Amino acid sequence: MKKRNAPYLSTVVAAAAIASTGPAFGQELPIPSSRNATVISLEHSPADSAEVDYVKANFNFGLYAWPSFSVTTLTPDLGWRVPLAEADAGLQAFKTQVDAYVRAALAKGVRLHLVLTSGLARGLGVYREAKVEDVRNCQWYSDNNIASEAQITDAAAMETFVFGTFSRYARKLRANLEAKARTSQAYLSGLMAEHPETLVAVSGWGEAELNYRRLNNAIPVQEFFCDYSPFAVLEFRDWILHAGEYDDAGGKYAGQGYAQGGSRYQGADGLARFNADFGTNFTTWNLRHFHWSLSDDYDPIPEDAANNDPRRIPFASYVQGGMMPASGPNFIAGGFDPPRAIAHGTKWWDLWNFFRQTMVANFVRDAAVWASEAGIPAERWFSHQIPADCLFGTSPADPYANGRYNTSASPIWTADIQPFGSPGATIYDNKFPGWFARTTDNALPVMAAMSPVWAIMEYDAEGYPPAFSVQQSDPDFILAQYRRVYEAGPYLVNFWRWTESPPEHQIKGMNKEIALRNFIQLIRDKARSRDLGVVFTPPRVVGFRGEFLAAGPAVELRLTGKIWEGQPWEWTTWGDFRHFEIYKGTAPGFPADAAHLAGATRDDVFRDPAVAAGTVYYYKVRAVNAANVPGPLSAEIKVPGYALVLSAGVGGTTDPEPGTYMREPGTALSVRAVPAEKFAFSHWSGDASGTDPAIQVTLNATKILRANFQRAGLFPPVDFSGRKAVNRSLSQEQVVLVLSWRANPQNPPIAKYRLYLVEGSGRRLLAEIDPASTEYTRRGVAKDKEYVFGLAAVGADGRESPMATVSVK
């Protein structure tokens, strides 16, 4: 397998060339998209209504500067013993949380960026139970400890200091991670489809890196890098050998093993070659410490209480400082083991270090693959990596200068998750007395070269570390930093953060707020062009229509207000829009010159009173930008002097459908009234009369016609009820049943009623009743029997209404 940092290098030059070119003057205004807009996201809850309103009111967002809020972080938590098949229900709390943010963003009309963390490198409490159940689920430092001496005694060590392993061989842990990831992503995918203008980005896993929590400048760096968990070590071995899950013939990760590994190192001879190639002296591929096998029962059913993994190491068995046995059942002399001491430049160390980075990259990439399979578009799913080889001015060319690089194994290339997602990274600069530590210096060009759609997931032009009393720079200086970022061309920048206490990164009320306001004003109309002086040429005006108004007379011209068909953007949101120029002529193809200029407006409606009834006019329009450069003319529209104004009452429509139809004077038009179901045409009103649904109209003037309809359907009688009563003479008795109802006022005159005895699903006609009747008496019914009667109205045409029914006992 090729090293991951190689592929994107070849694209650096091409992408940089595109970025440096930028749109030329005279270029037509492009449709805003993730390729040319900048999402200005502020790290702050969108549910904070007052702050969101403040931001919207004080920052002049526009076509290519989109307001957004970022929420860092959300940590989906699928309980350790929840059946994986029930992940959807198990993540209800997460979904509820996401819903609340989406609703808040929708309500405020802002975009939303959410950050997901895995629970392994951030949100550590999520997998506490997993780590306690089997300590191999933790990341192990080079001394096989999971934390420092001081950290392990902390009651909250698992939630604070102990990272979970990223190894794909931690199969039970991975099953839980994958189930919750796929379920969360499916839910987010649905929300994105439902609210594409709101939920624009999700990044994850937030800052995936190996454990750095033992970083201590007082201790040699080699004391604290990971991950030596037996899961990671066995994966390392199989990655080299293309064995196990990396078996090219059928392994789950076939084809992803070490590019120079595989059969060359398999078997006894292979081991010898490996020793020769890498300067090792292993006598077996079995692990030196805590050997285990993929054939072990890894407990794929989390919901039961039993974990029968024979090699499981419960936390209760963990011995701080005692996890590197030199004898006993957990030790194999001559067994396989990664290098334990840093030796940059040696093949063996570099192979191990590359595997560590590959493990991190795979961890990030696997999540992107799942997101892609859940339907999240690649330009909405971002990685969110710590660019450890670029931190604070260090360079990928000399990554070892940064201790965090050694520990985290997350160089900037691990952010590249294409084609399943887009790259994203935490990139911020710190200000110290007299100097700046700028991650941006090296991270921006690498990220820009990686993909045309990329993001800065946490950005600060200058953080103020609390231990140093540094003064904030002036707004112009900070603005210059923002412009540096802008010129690199990120799609989304999460400005970290709107408020904070203490204000190490705070924007609100600081010079950063002033700078950001000026920054947005500068870029809002520039479509990510590096030339901030560019003024785009207006596109052709669409949706132009006109209507002759008999009153006046006048011609009313209307625009949709939208710059592009099917897009939400309005002309007034384009800062470089000046006005529309409207031209009028009396012959088709008239020249759009000063003699034909009818007027100019910035509104969507323009009324031209200089018209005469009976004359046919032609109009066209074009937009003009702030540099007074016009766009192309719209299609020419024809506005005849007369119009047919058609409308329809309740219960039908017309053919042609209701609306205003402008035709030349004298045009004859056929118009037909079309009743809806259960309605019938009644009559014409306005400038026509009669009951014939099809008429001819000659436009010798503006004609206003209305088609009127009436209900044609029949409705059952109302208040249908019944009762039984005793009817007697001196010696005889009879039970009679009396049914009563009211005529349905919605019905036209009816011919009769039909009374049915309803028996099960069938019915039997009992009587046909005079339409004026409202009561019916039936003799000789059984005193204790329940009867169900149905009564329907029957129209003159024989059609029968639905039945009203009543049950009488």
Partner 1 sequence: MIPHHVPAVPGRRTRLIGAIALGALLACPRPGAAGVRLELRGGYHSPSEQAFRDIYGGGPAYGADVVVGLLKNVDLWAGGGYFYRKGLLTFTAEETFVKIRTLGWGIRYRRAVGRFDVHGGAALNFYLYDESNPIGDVEAGKIGPEVRAGAFYRFTDRASAGAFASWSTCTIAPAQYEVDIGGLTAGLALSYRFGRLTPSPPPAKTPPTPLK
Distances (CA, A) of 165 to 146, 256, 292, 308, 359: 10, 19, 16, 20, 10
Among 471, 726, 762, 783, binds partner 1 (CB under 8 A): 726
Among 677, 729, 760, 761, binds partner 1 (CB under 8 A): 729
- Is 727 an interacting residue with respect to partner 1 (CB under 8 A)? yes
| Residue at token pair 């449709």 | 31
Among the residue ranges 166-174, 176-184, 274-282, 731-739, the one whose residues contact partner 1 (CB under 8 A)? 731-739
Among the residue ranges 214-222, 419-427, 678-686, 724-732, the one whose residues contact partner 1 (CB under 8 A)? 724-732
Among the residue ranges 190-198, 354-362, 439-447, 733-741, the one whose residues contact partner 1 (CB under 8 A)? 733-741
Among the residue ranges 70-78, 147-155, 206-214, 725-733, the one whose residues contact partner 1 (CB under 8 A)? 725-733
In whole angstroms, the minimum distance from the beta carbon of 745 to partner 1 comes to 29
DSSP code string of 585-619: ESSTT---SGGGEEEEESSSEEEE----TT--EEE
* Rounded Cα–Cα distance for residues 357 and 189 (Å): 29
554 or 767: CB nearest partner 1: 767
Beta-strand runs (E) in 295-445: 381-382, 424-432, 435-438
Among 89, 193, 635, 725, binds partner 1 (CB under 8 A): 725
In whole angstroms, the minimum distance from the beta carbon of 783 to partner 1 comes to 12
Which positions from 56 through 95 interact with partner 1, judged by CB under 8 A?
Answer: none
In whole angstroms, the minimum distance from the beta carbon of 721 to partner 1 comes to 17
Q: For 764, phi and psi rounded to 5 degrees?
A: -130, 130
Task: Say how far residue 47 (Cα) sits from the centre of its chain.
Answer: 18
* Rounded Cα–Cα distance for residues 187 and 141 (Å): 36
DSSP code string of 224-278: G-B---HHHHHHHHHHHHT-GGG-TTT-TTTT-S-TT-SGGG-HHHHHHHHHHHH
> Which H helix or E strand runs over 56?
helix 49-58
1 or 738: CB nearest partner 1: 738
In whole angstroms, the minimum distance from the beta carbon of 736 to partner 1 comes to 6
> Which H helix or E strand runs over 483?
helix 475-488
Determine the residue type at 275: N
CA atoms within 13 A on the CB side of 354: 20
Distances (CA, A) of 512 to 57, 478, 528, 530, 629: 17, 6, 21, 21, 35
Total number of residues that touch partner 1 (CB under 8 A): 14
150 or 725: CB nearest partner 1: 725
300 or 780: CB nearest partner 1: 780
Among the residue ranges 178-186, 597-605, 621-629, 732-740, the one whose residues contact partner 1 (CB under 8 A)? 732-740
In whole angstroms, the minimum distance from the beta carbon of 732 to partner 1 comes to 4
2 or 779: CB nearest partner 1: 779
- Is 780 an interacting residue with respect to partner 1 (CB under 8 A)? yes
Of the candidates 178, 215, 205, the residue with the CA atom closest to the CA atom of residue 78: 178
In whole angstroms, the minimum distance from the beta carbon of 738 to partner 1 comes to 8
Q: Pseudo-torsion of CA 609, 612, 616, 622, nearest 10°?
A: -20
Task: Say how far residue 111 (Cα) sits from the centre of its chain.
Answer: 10
* Rounded Cα–Cα distance for residues 572 and 562 (Å): 9
Query: For the window 298-337, what string marks contact with partner 1 as x by the rule CB under 8 A?
Result: ----------------------------------------
In whole angstroms, the minimum distance from the beta carbon of 719 to partner 1 comes to 21
670 or 777: CB nearest partner 1: 777
- Is 732 an interacting residue with respect to partner 1 (CB under 8 A)? yes
In whole angstroms, the minimum distance from the beta carbon of 782 to partner 1 comes to 10
696 or 732: CB nearest partner 1: 732
In whole angstroms, the minimum distance from the beta carbon of 743 to partner 1 comes to 23
- Is 783 an interacting residue with respect to partner 1 (CB under 8 A)? no
In whole angstroms, the minimum distance from the beta carbon of 765 to partner 1 comes to 18
In whole angstroms, the minimum distance from the beta carbon of 722 to partner 1 comes to 14
In whole angstroms, the minimum distance from the beta carbon of 672 to partner 1 comes to 55
2 or 783: CB nearest partner 1: 783
The token pair at 401 is 């200068």
SS3 352: helix
The token pair at 654 is 């017309």
* Rounded Cα–Cα distance for residues 684 and 676 (Å): 16
Beta-carbon contacts of residue 220 (< 8 Å; ≥ 6 apart): none
44 or 778: CB nearest partner 1: 778
Q: What share of the chain is helix, strand, coil (3-state, %, to 5)?
A: 25, 25, 45
Using an 8 Å Cβ cutoff, are 388 and 202 in contact? no
663 - beta bridge partners?
A: 642
- Is 721 an interacting residue with respect to partner 1 (CB under 8 A)? no
Among 730, 749, 786, 798, binds partner 1 (CB under 8 A): 730
21 or 777: CB nearest partner 1: 777
> Which H helix or E strand runs over 752?
strand 752-759
Among the residue ranges 200-208, 281-289, 437-445, 722-730, the one whose residues contact partner 1 (CB under 8 A)? 722-730
Beta-carbon contacts of residue 190 (< 8 Å; ≥ 6 apart): none
In whole angstroms, the minimum distance from the beta carbon of 692 to partner 1 comes to 51
* Rounded Cα–Cα distance for residues 73 and 556 (Å): 53
Query: For the window 749-778, what string marks contact with partner 1 as x by the rule CB under 8 A?
Result: ----------------------------x-
In whole angstroms, the minimum distance from the beta carbon of 796 to partner 1 comes to 32
* Rounded Cα–Cα distance for residues 482 and 462 (Å): 10
In whole angstroms, the minimum distance from the beta carbon of 735 to partner 1 comes to 10
Among 310, 591, 779, 798, binds partner 1 (CB under 8 A): 779
Among 327, 471, 501, 731, binds partner 1 (CB under 8 A): 731
240 or 737: CB nearest partner 1: 737
In whole angstroms, the minimum distance from the beta carbon of 731 to partner 1 comes to 5
Among the residue ranges 256-264, 273-281, 442-450, 720-728, the one whose residues contact partner 1 (CB under 8 A)? 720-728
- CA-based torsion, 358, 361, 367, 368: positive or negative: negative
Q: For 118, phi and psi rounded to 5 degrees?
A: -85, -30
Helix-then-strand count for the chain, H and E: 15, 30
Among the residue ranges 165-173, 266-274, 302-310, 723-731, the one whose residues contact partner 1 (CB under 8 A)? 723-731
The residues binding partner 1 (CB under 8 A) are 725-734, 736, 777, 779-780
